[in-house]
Amino acid sequence: MKIKNNNILRFLKVIYLKLFRIHDSPQKVALGIGIGVFLGNFPGTGPIAALTMAFILRLNRAAALLGSLLTNTWLSIITFIFSVKIGSSIMGLEWQKVYQETIQLFKDFHWMNFFKISILKILTPVLIGYFIISFLFGLLFYVATLFIILKVKPKFKNKNYFHE
């Protein structure tokens, strides 16, 4: 049990060092997390896309990677039905039909199906929904991270909780 607690403390120390002692502005760190969460949730993207985007936008790469890893795959699976509902609603389609066709598409997956025009009727609402949900999660994580950094960082400034 002591080994497990030691690993958890070590992980928390790394997070602390990467986010609270970094020389980037709180906005760059928070935006890095937000971009990472956005790209971690959006299908087909993930840690590499988050790192690339953080590099291009000159944001904190460690924060972008962390945000991406926190949400990669598991959150996009949870938000799948919400994405279908939102995207279908925006496009004026029946979400149950789009949902069934999407499930069928992945069940009988063939690369040649992606070249058919009718597939746009299936994937477009799903991608629109994922974009909106990913954007909202990214925004939420940005605001929460910025708040935490601005409120917590001053408290850590003169204290050494991790006995470096």
Domain ranges in the chain are 2-156
47-82 in b/e burial notation, b at 16+ Cβ within 10 A? bebbbebbeeeebbbbbbbbbbeebbeebbeebbee
Q: Which of 11, 54, 10 is nearest to 29 (CA)?
A: 54
**What would the two tokens of residue 87 be?**
């995207």
67-96 per-position pLDDT tens digit: 998 887 777 778 889 999 999 999 999 999
pTM (2 d.p.): 0.75
7-66 per-position pLDDT tens digit: 777 776 776 666 656 677 889 999 999 999 999 999 888 889 999 999 999 998 888 988
Pairwise CA distance, residues 84 & 29, whole Å: 31
Please classify residue 9 by burial: count the beta carbons closer than 10 Å to its beta carbon, then call 0-12 exposed, 13-18 middle and 19+ buried. exposed
